[in-house]
Amino acid sequence: MINPFSDEYFMKQALEEAHKAFDEDEIPVGAIVVCNNRIIARAHNLTERLNDVTAHAEMQAITAAANYLGGKYLKDCTLYVTLEPCNMCAGALAWSQISRIVYGAGDKKRGFSAFSPSPLHPRTELITGILEEACADLVKRFFVKKR
Amino acid sequence: MINPFSDEYFMKQALEEAHKAFDEDEIPVGAIVVCNNRIIARAHNLTERLNDVTAHAEMQAITAAANYLGGKYLKDCTLYVTLEPCNMCAGALAWSQISRIVYGAGDKKRGFSAFSPSPLHPRTELITGILEEACADLVKRFFVKKR
């Protein structure tokens, strides 16, 4: 039997969130948290609307997932995010002890790997490049629109 | 005339916040944001009460200060925090473009400098070691109590 719950399947859900951000004139990044193949948190970047640099998709998704689970650690969860997390979000993910992080497009300038080679929790698995082109294209289109 | 608004003066205010965290059985870290010698945000660590790894004193202080100012950048502000910020908080402070960061005690294991040599905004001034002993002692006392 084919497992419908692939990384591509869940990244499409994160991309849907990123599209919402795009439509709201926010830098288009979306994130979801999955636990036992169930989406327990959905979020998109809201830094403009909330006037808050900490309102990245990942930060909101971490807070929402912990709230759903009733505990602050996300040890059996996967975060799917369309863009490589920044240093702030990587730091938050480290504190959460999340099991897996899957991101779409890399972010050479602002992604965590530009600052810290290993800021994540040592037990966190990192998967990159899932639906990379679609994730990157959305960000590119946003900045073209902004020019 | 003596200027009453020294770094020591404001760090004492941050220490007051850290004491509140201690009394609430939270890792005792306190932070304030100052703009034109006026305290515009006060916060202490609430990760246990809120069940949220992102609820560090600094993160809350950044959000509260931006809310007070009505804009997300803290360009003319100073953050006073009793302990060296972690990678997450350093990343958030970088996004905020804050003018100055003053911390009390260093944190060799979890402080940002253990992960990233320069995660802060290039225009952010960093001052360290203000009331270092009092800030460090409070954290030590907390972990002794927890044993």
Which chain A residues have a beta carbon less than 8 Å from that of B48? 72
pTM over 0.90: yes
Pick from A51, A53, A96: which is nearest to B95 by CB? Answer: A53
Q: Which of A58, A84, A125, A132 is catalytic?
A: A58
Q: Do B95 and A70 touch (CB under 8 A)?
A: no
Q: Which fold has domain A15-146?
A: Cytidine Deaminase; domain 2 (3.40.140)
Q: Is B58 one of the catalytic residues?
A: yes
Q: Which stretches of A13-99 are assigned E, i.e. beta strand? A: 30-35, 38-44, 77-83
Per-residue confidence band for A53, with pLDDT thresholds at 50, 70 and 90: very high
pLDDT digits (tens, 9 = 90+) for A95-141: 999 999 999 999 999 999 998 888 999 999 999 999 999 999 999 99
For chain A, give the percent of residues with pLDDT over 90: 93
Q: Which of A91, A115, A93, A114 is nearest to A102 (CA)?
A: A93
Minimal CA separation from B5 to chain A, in Å: 27
Per-residue confidence band for B116, with pLDDT thresholds at 50, 70 and 90: confident
Pick from A54, A70, A116: which is nearest to B92 by CB? Answer: A54
pLDDT of residue B118: 84
Q: Which residue of B has its CA nearest to A113?
A: B116
User: Is pLDDT above 90 for A4?
Assistant: no
pLDDT of residue B117: 80
For chain B, what's the residue count? Answer: 147
User: Is pLDDT above 90 for A1?
Assistant: no
Break chain A into its structural domains and give their ranges: 15-146
Q: Which residue of B has its CA nearest to A48?
A: B72
Per-residue confidence band for B1, with pLDDT thresholds at 50, 70 and 90: low
pLDDT of residue A3: 78
User: Is pLDDT above 80 for A35?
Assistant: yes
Four-point Cα dihedral A10, A12, A14, A17, nearest 10: -140
pLDDT of residue B39: 98
pLDDT digits (tens, 9 = 90+) for A65-106: 999 999 999 999 999 999 999 999 999 999 999 999 999 999
pLDDT digits (tens, 9 = 90+) for B95-115: 999 999 999 999 999 999 998
Q: Which site among B33, B49, B54 would you substitute to test the A interface, given the most A Cβ atoms closer than 10 Å to its Cβ?
A: B54
Q: Do A54 and B53 touch (CB under 8 A)?
A: no
- The mean pLDDT value of chain A amounts to 96
Per-residue confidence band for B22, with pLDDT thresholds at 50, 70 and 90: very high
